[in-house]
Amino acid sequence: MISSVSNERVKNVILLQKKARARREQDCFVVEGVRMAGEVETDRLLEAFVSESFLGRPENESLCARLHAEVVSERVMAAMSDTQTPQGIIAVVRRREADPAKMVSGPAPLILMLERLQDPGNLGTILRTGEGAGVTGVLMSEDTVDIYNPKVIRSTMGSIYRVPFAYVPDLRQTARELKERGVCLYAAHLAGENSYDQENYRGATAFMIGNEGAGLSDELTGLADRLIRIPMEGQVESLNAAVSAAILMYEAGRQRRKKNGRTG
């Protein structure tokens, strides 16, 4: 059992929790909790840690055995955790990004393009909502918040494992490449001529969502095939980025379900 916070493995987990640079250099990230640790694919698992109390509960024995988890003291677990109330299990997982080309390989891909998003909660919520809405991939500018940030990981509720995503060095060039592949680019924009529910998203579609405060850059906006707006009542000028993305994704999902004869 590891009982010292000075242990090198423990110190490294703490470093990975705090520093995006360390996560990039080591090509891994940290997940916490029964659900997140339990869903880790074996080939991506690097190491796992559980507290004494976690190991002591019979319902956790099989998970601890499968992960070959190292037991640590309660004090050490508290130091390693990024949450106020640790669940008692932490895993270090190898990072994995998708090939952007494969995201558009199907007949009617549904892509999200995120430019300079900075709020971890927004990004995590977008990934989770994207899975529910049926997106085929999420593409992000390199200056978007680190998707492996602990707050993002928690917000995804496991979608980090299942939704294809990638950072791209030049989102504008990626937009041009998508257009060449026949993907219609829609920019959520206050200057949009049509309401979002007046467009047809049954074909190859990409939604572009911009920074929480500044919105989309003029350069990326200029590459859009359509500018669309989300109508708002009262004195509200704009919506949260995750909320806007959810509205657009679920409208696309609704149209596609209707096309396929499904409802709900």
Residue 264 has pLDDT above 70, yes or no: no
Inter-residue contact 239 to 230 (CB < 8 Å): yes
**Average pLDDT along the chain:** 94
Measured at the CA of 187, the angle between CA 185 and CA 190, to 5 degrees, comes to: 160
**pLDDT-wise least confident of 36-40, 61-65, 74-78, 259-263:** 259-263
What is residue 240's predicted lDDT score, i.e. its pLDDT?
A: 87
Distances from the Cα of 93 to the Cα of 39, 47, 101, 161, 187, angstroms: 11, 7, 24, 10, 34
Average pLDDT over residues 198-212: 94
Same fold, 8-94 and 100-259: no
What is residue 261's predicted lDDT score, i.e. its pLDDT?
A: 63
Place of tokens 């494969």: 102
Average pLDDT over residues 120-143: 96
- Secondary-structure class of domain 100-259 per CATH: alpha beta
CB count within 10 Å of CB 5 equals 15
What is residue 25's predicted lDDT score, i.e. its pLDDT?
A: 98
DSSP single-letter state for residue 206? E
What is residue 236's predicted lDDT score, i.e. its pLDDT?
A: 77
CATH number for the domain formed by residue range(s) 8-94 = 3.30.1330.30
What is residue 262's predicted lDDT score, i.e. its pLDDT?
A: 59
Tens of pLDDT along 92-129? 999 999 999 899 988 899 999 999 999 999 999 999 99
Place of tokens 């809405």: 133
What is residue 107's predicted lDDT score, i.e. its pLDDT?
A: 87
Average pLDDT over residues 36-43: 95
What is residue 260's predicted lDDT score, i.e. its pLDDT?
A: 72
Tens of pLDDT along 59-78? 999 999 999 999 999 999 99
What is residue 94's predicted lDDT score, i.e. its pLDDT?
A: 98
Inter-residue contact 187 to 208 (CB < 8 Å): yes
Tens of pLDDT along 212-224? 888 899 999 999 9
What is residue 258's predicted lDDT score, i.e. its pLDDT?
A: 83
Beta-bridge partners for 206: 111, 185
Place of tokens 């300079």: 116
- What letters, b where the CB count within 10 A reaches 16 and e where it falls short, cover 53-90? ebbeeeebeebbeebebbbbbeebbbbbbbeeebbbbb
Q: Where are the domains of the chain?
A: 8-94, 100-259
Q: Which residue has the higher pLDDT, 167 or 264?
A: 167
Tens of pLDDT along 144-178? 999 999 999 999 999 999 999 999 999 999 999 99
What is residue 158's predicted lDDT score, i.e. its pLDDT?
A: 94
What percent of the chain is predicted at pLDDT more than 70? 98
Token couple for 40 = 């880790």
